[in-house]
Structure 1
Amino acid sequence: MIDFVKRIIYSIREYLILIILLLVSLSLISQNETPSLQKIKSFAFVNIAVINNIFHNIFISNNDSDEIIMLKRRNAELMLTVNKLREYAIENSEIKGMLNFTNESESDLLSANIIAKNFGNIIGNIIINRGEKDSIKVGMPVINHLGLIGIVYQTSNDFSLIRTLRNSKLKIAVEAQRSGVQGILSWEVEKLTLKNIPATYDINIGDRIITSDFSTLFPPKIPIGVVVKKENNISGLVSDIVIQPYVDFNKINNLFVKKLVISKELNEFELNLLKNIKPNE
């Protein structure tokens, strides 16, 4: 039996080598952000999106109905509003009776279907069936009724590439809602982590993590997840805080793009930051 397997492998060795080299090449290209490869990656993105959309429409019939999408939209709006209420209550108990903040408008949220997912140890991207013709722009936040999913990273006329929380290149300024402890959240192989938080800082298991007021990529107070573990380093002076996201990325099929109106200067800054950030930064 072993000899038979060896003969089979030997007979197709050229194909195996070719496949291995192609996989290595694709991996290197996906990690490379040089301008010379951007056109190739953009071309591949558009074509993959078109192919996936065709197969999605033919073979997948689990898209939510208009009524369910409307309910999810309302849930997402309520999630943002409730989180504002929670934040105001933490800052000042008297604010509970002062609800004069601006409500989230339904026009702020654009529904979209996910037509492709790509999740690995460090890469976490999804493609949606909305693009520039729907007024989608790079830098727009992406959420569902549970919390933050990611950010629009690349667009074509009909599709958009979303860089999710499970992408190691996405770094997010966040805070613990209860105590206000600040940190930078990123994906570390298999988990969301706040790294090098001083051990004396007031952050506990069960604390809610939200986007920070100091974030240059996201509006503040969007729910992200909850603290599930504190990992102390050898010295015991700092800890890595593990976060369980509210969104289950393996199950999501629909989402909302939050159509923010931001200044040209900030939009250009976010665009440059998104495209120039390196995987290990």
Structure 2
Amino acid sequence: MLKKTTIISIILIVLISFVLISYQSKGLLLFDKIHLYSLFYPIDYLQNFFNEILKTKDENRDLKEKLYEMHLQISSTNELIEENKRLKELLNLKERKKEILTIAKIIKRGANKFLKTVWIDKGKKDGVKVNMPVITINGLVGKVIFASEDFSEILLITDPNFSASVRVERNRIEGVLSGAGTNLCLLKYIPLEEEIMVGDRLITSGTDGIFPEGLSVGVVRKVDRKRGVFQNIEVVPLQSELKIEEVAILKSLP
């Protein structure tokens, strides 16, 4: 036999259940919906919040990719503009100087560690020959030391094996320019009594039978008269060997 209190509890539970069912059946579900919404609203909010964050990250990534693409396009365009400018200047130089044979592009640095050279994309089929002078719009670069059908090797003026007859533009004193094996050149065979000053500009003298007269070469950087028979003179080339991209090949002297 069930206890009296147990029976009463069961009856109360049944009555409460009927009341709730009746409460819902009369269309009073709004309270429950609001109550449930209030329970789940923070979860929905957090889910929407994180969805927005992920969406923003994706948009930022897309924007960054577009910015990089624009940057590369702008860099490429600027490079083309600079190259176009240099080529126009070389072409203008060719129009002024009829002795220019052709214009060439540097394609690689020399592999021989004992020589300071560069290779160009022009060769015998373009008329290039050994000992032809090589210049840029800034000044003397070197001379051709080897030519195949399609390519040629240029000995730079900074190589110790290079030499050219030059003169000081200011007072016409003449000497020989050779490479120092670094990014500098040396002006040789200038007697101690001759006046050479820092800042003096050098040009080719045209007396060596290879380089025509008047090509810009470099600027005197240092003068030392303390020892030896001749002055020790350092020269900075007007054309940096690290910045050469296109060159002009001059015809050989007659």
> What is the TM-score when the length of structure 2 is the normalising length?
0.62
- Correspondence 1:221 to 2:214: yes
Hey, what does 1:175 align to over in structure 2? 167
Q: How do 1:27-46 and structure 2 match up within 5 A?
A: none
Cα drift, residue 117 of structure 1: 1.1
**One-letter identity of the residue aligned with 1:201:** E
**One-letter identity of the residue aligned with 2:201:** R
- Correspondence 1:139 to 2:156: no
What's the secondary structure of 1:71's corresponding residue? helix
Q: Separation in 2 of the partners of 1:259 and 1:196?
A: 28
**One-letter identity of the residue aligned with 1:178:** R
Structure 2, unpaired ranges of 5+ = 1-76
CA contact 1:122–1:187 (8 Å) conserved in 2: no
Q: How do 1:1-281 and structure 2 match up within 5 A?
A: 67-74=84-91, 76=93, 103-105=96-98, 108-118=100-110, 123-190=115-182, 191-234=184-227, 238-260=230-252, 262-263=253-254
Cα drift, residue 122 of structure 1: 5.5
**Aligned CA distance change for structure 1 residues 212 and 245 (closer, same or farther; 3 Å):** same
What's the secondary structure of 2:190's corresponding residue? strand
CA contact 2:168–2:200 (8 Å) conserved in 1: yes
CA contact 1:118–1:126 (8 Å) conserved in 2: yes
**One-letter identity of the residue aligned with 1:73:** L
Q: Separation in 1 of the partners of 2:135 and 2:81?
A: 16
**One-letter identity of the residue aligned with 2:85:** I
Rg comparison, structure with higher value: 2
Q: Separation in 2 of the partners of 1:192 and 1:161?
A: 20
CA contact 2:87–2:246 (8 Å) conserved in 1: no
**Aligned CA distance change for structure 1 residues 214 and 259 (closer, same or farther; 3 Å):** closer
Q: Separation in 1 of the partners of 2:80 and 2:112?
A: 24
Q: Separation in 1 of the partners of 2:81 and 2:244?
A: 11
Cα drift, residue 198 of structure 1: 1.5
Q: Separation in 2 of the partners of 1:108 and 1:196?
A: 30
Q: Separation in 1 of the partners of 2:93 and 2:132?
A: 16
Ranges of 4+ aligned residues in structure 1 off by more than 4 Å: 61-66, 119-122
**Aligned CA distance change for structure 1 residues 184 and 252 (closer, same or farther; 3 Å):** same
CA contact 1:121–1:189 (8 Å) conserved in 2: no
**One-letter identity of the residue aligned with 2:237:** P
Cα drift, residue 255 of structure 1: 1.0
Deviations 1:78-119 (A, max 9, x none): 9xxxxxxxxxxxxxxxxxxxxxxxx523x7241111111138
Q: Separation in 1 of the partners of 2:103 and 2:227?
A: 46
CA contact 1:173–1:185 (8 Å) conserved in 2: yes
**Aligned CA distance change for structure 1 residues 194 and 129 (closer, same or farther; 3 Å):** same
> What is the TM-score when the length of structure 1 is the normalising length?
0.56
Cα drift, residue 200 of structure 1: 1.3
CA contact 1:122–1:166 (8 Å) conserved in 2: no
Q: Separation in 1 of the partners of 2:177 and 2:109?
A: 22
Backbone CA RMSD of aligned residues: 2.8
Equivalent pairs counted in the alignment come to 177
